[in-house]
């Protein structure tokens, strides 16, 4: 459930801000789109264990927001806290680097390391080496037979499953998925939507998924946030928004 | 083959080998900074590194020779603290060679780093890996063709160096007389047979190095995309 405008001037200045169990985002960042400069302005609170879809056309600011949450972009100003830990606070000059946010990020191009096998990609993500956990992830995503293959030999769907398994191997607090199905054909998308749900359940925490596919959002999301030109124009249950 | 011929070729290999090894160690971090970091004097640094590609070697050699003089701060420092006179010595030629070959090492490494998709670095960071770990375990293994090119180009360029070596090193057998100088010297002395022997060796080494570069880059091209 999202509580729109729950963060306001008053509670932004409160010493207790960000101490709840939820994910609080209140940021601004100027971004350059094909239609010129836009201001991304987002104010959200995301409840525990929710799968939230950021929905909107290209240039709406979905990927920019996801990258800000991962620490890959810095907002111009604002505040981000996750389960009580402040990740970014422009007023206090706090900005945790991506390494300290413990976020699982699945990139649009999957970003699998070409020099590592499927198994090595997953092992690389582990903070403490644990072969049993790697085996378990390989089994969960049906990758046992591919574990010695290099990414160049994999299909798009297989790469996506490896990327999901790798993101979970780091035991992240939060899973961020940047249009992970956009490069796949329709049938493959349907199959892999189940894999995303599986990953979300394994994670047992918040998942944010960027998508511009209504069907996908209806199937996967607990809640949907619609972005247009950098601002939230609608949010709620997918059925309420789309049907 | 006489011992002079062998010694000259060994000295040429020694100069090229040391230059390549030292430049690889200092070139990697410089290429990393130029590829990924922004700083206000970056263009100036890039221009300075590339200068040897456009500057006549004699210009660079002249300024280095002046700097090597014990009367100047740089040469005086080396003489005082290392008891080394840089002008007309192997160390002096090596130092000049490092400066002159810098772009041949930096540019392929920088291009190799820039060509790696940004998402690979970012994926590593989000998995908690430091910039150094990412550099060693993700970036370097995925730019092997660029590293081979940088090493081979630097080595090959070093072997063919003439202008800088003659300016700062002269023609001292066993110390600064490398193959390219020896060719010129033998031609001046009308010893065309010896000049031909040196030339043939340099020709073959250069051909082998370039063939290796094209072969490695050709093989890696289809699987370069992740």
Nearest chain B Cα distance for residue A17, angstroms: 25
pLDDT of residue B88: 86
pLDDT of residue B84: 80
Residue range B106-123: average pLDDT? 96
pLDDT of residue B99: 93
Q: Which residue of B has its CA nearest to A73?
A: B122
Q: Which residues of B touch A108 (CB under 8 A)?
A: 119
B24 in Cβ contact with B190 (< 8 Å): no
> Residues of chain A with pLDDT > 90: what percent?
53
> Do B128 and A72 lie within an 8 Å CB cutoff?
no
pTM (two decimals)? 0.85
Strand-pairing partners, residue A25, are A44, A80
> Quick check: B118 pLDDT over 80?
yes
> Do B119 and A111 lie within an 8 Å CB cutoff?
yes
Q: Which residues of B touch A170 (CB under 8 A)?
A: 126-128
What separation in angstroms does the CA of B113 have from each of A112, A115, A138, B106, B109?
16, 15, 31, 11, 6
Q: How confident is the model at residue A18 (pLDDT cuts 50, 70, 90)?
A: very low
Of the candidates B117, B120, B223, which has its C-beta nearest A152's C-beta? Answer: B223
Q: How many CB pairs under 8 A join A and B?
A: 68
> Quick check: A4 pLDDT over 50?
no
ipTM, two decimals? 0.87
Q: What is the pLDDT of residues B6-37, one digit of tens each?
A: 889 999 999 999 999 999 999 999 999 999 99
pLDDT of residue B220: 66
> Quick check: B117 pLDDT over 70?
yes
Residue range B73-78: average pLDDT? 85
Q: Which residues of A touch B122 (CB under 8 A)?
A: 70, 72, 98, 105, 107, 111
Q: Which residue of B has its CA nearest to A123?
A: B127
Of the candidates A100, A103, A151, which has its C-beta nearest B226's C-beta? Answer: A151
Higher pLDDT among residues B119 and A185, named by residue:
B119
pLDDT of residue A21: 59
Q: What is the pLDDT of residues B139-192, one digit of tens each?
A: 999 999 999 999 999 999 999 888 888 888 888 888 888 999 999 989 999 999
pLDDT of residue A181: 82
> Do B122 and A111 lie within an 8 Å CB cutoff?
yes
């Amino acid at each position: 459930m999202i509580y729109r405008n729950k963060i306001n001037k008053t509670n932004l200045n409160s010493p207790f801000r960000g101490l709840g169990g939820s994910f609080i985002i209140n940021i601004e960042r100027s971004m350059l789109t094909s239609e010129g400069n836009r201001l991304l302005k987002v104010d959200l609170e995301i409840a525990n264990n929710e799968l939230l879809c950021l929905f909107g056309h290209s240039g709406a600011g979905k990927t920019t927001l996801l990258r800000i949450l991962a620490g890959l972009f810095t907002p111009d100003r604002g505040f981000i806290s996750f389960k009580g830990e402040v990740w970014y606070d422009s007023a206090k000059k706090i900005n945790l680097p991506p390494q300290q946010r413990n976020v699982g990020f699945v990139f649009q191009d999957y970003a699998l390391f070409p020099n590592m096998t499927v198994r090595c990609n997953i092992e690389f993500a582990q903070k403490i080496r644990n072969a049993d956990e790697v085996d378990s992830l390989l089994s969960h995503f049906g990758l046992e037979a591919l574990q010695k293959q290099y990414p160049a030999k994999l299909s798009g769907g297989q790469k996506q499953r490896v990327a999901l398994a790798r993101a979970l191997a780091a035991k992240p607090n939060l899973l961020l998925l940047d249009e992970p199905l956009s490069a796949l054909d329709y049938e493959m998308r349907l199959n892999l939507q189940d894999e995303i749900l599986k990953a979300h359940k394994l994670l047992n925490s918040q998942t944010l998924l960027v998508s511009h596919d209504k069907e996908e959002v209806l199937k996967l999301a607990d809640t949907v946030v619609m972005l247009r030109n950098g601002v939230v124009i609608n949010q709620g249950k997918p059925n309420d928004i789309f049907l | 083959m006489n011992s002079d011929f062998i010694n000259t070729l060994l000295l040429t290999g020694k100069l090229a080998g040391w230059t390549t090894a030292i430049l690889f160690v200092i070139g990697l971090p410089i290429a990393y900074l130029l590829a990924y970091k922004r700083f206000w004097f970056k263009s100036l640094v890039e221009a300075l590194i590339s200068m040897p590609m456009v500057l006549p070697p004699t210009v660079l050699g002249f300024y280095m020779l002046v700097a090597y003089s014990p009367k100047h701060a740089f040469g005086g420092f080396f003489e005082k603290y290392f008891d080394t006179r840089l002008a007309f010595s192997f160390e002096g030629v090596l130092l000049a060679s490092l400066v002159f070959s810098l772009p041949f090492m930096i540019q392929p490494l920088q291009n190799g780093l820039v060509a790696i998709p940004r998402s690979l670095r970012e994926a590593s960071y989000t998995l908690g890996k430091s910039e150094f770990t990412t550099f060693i375990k993700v970036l370097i293994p995925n730019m092997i063709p660029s590293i081979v090119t940088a090493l081979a180009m630097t080595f090959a360029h070093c072997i063919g160096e003439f202008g800088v070596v003659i300016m700062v090193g002269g023609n001292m057998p066993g110390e600064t007389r490398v193959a390219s100088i020896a060719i010129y010297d033998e031609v001046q002395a009308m010893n065309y047979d010896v000049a031909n022997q040196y030339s043939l060796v340099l020709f073959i080494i250069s051909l082998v190095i370039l063939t290796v570069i094209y072969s490695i880059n050709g093989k890696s091209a289809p699987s370069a995309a992740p």
